[in-house]
Amino acid sequence: MRQTIAMSVLLSFLSLITLPAQAAMVSTKQLVQEQAIASERTKLNAMMQREDVQVQFLEMGVSPEEVQQRVAALTDAEVAQLNHQMEQIPAGGDVLGLVVLIFLVFIVTDIIGATDIFSFVHPIE
């Protein structure tokens, strides 16, 4: 009986603790932008999974795991820029050019100190 009363009192006190809740309107424009960003990242990740692209990166000394980490660290604007430049390359065209472009983006992010993948690049101090 005492245990039941003690448990009831304890549960009553726990129910008094409330966490603040926030609600806000989400605009259609914001939802569309979020979906577009997700789509851009998916498109870039699919490109990075291609065997010919991975072979090029391996020849440059970059493992597929490092590429995945680096792509995940890219900002939304960088992802959009890379996808835009990929769309400019003709179908079956210059994959090496794309790989070099992505490699340069990776080096720039190393230089500014956002990542540290390449040992030959030191952030500006």
Structural tokens at position 67: 């590429």
In the chain, how many domains are there?
1
- 12 located within any domain: no
| Cβ-based neighbour number of residue 47 at 10 Å | 17
What average pLDDT score do residues 113-120 get?
Answer: 69
Least confident of 44-53, 60-69, 100-109: 100-109
- 48 located within any domain: yes
- 21 located within any domain: no
What average pLDDT score do residues 12-37 get?
Answer: 75
Contacts of 14 (CB under 8 A, 6+ apart): none
pTM score, whole prediction: 0.50
- 91 located within any domain: yes
- 2 located within any domain: no
- 72 located within any domain: yes
- 82 located within any domain: yes
What residue numbers bound the domain in which 83 lies?
A: 37-125
8 A C-beta contact, residue 94 and residue 102: no
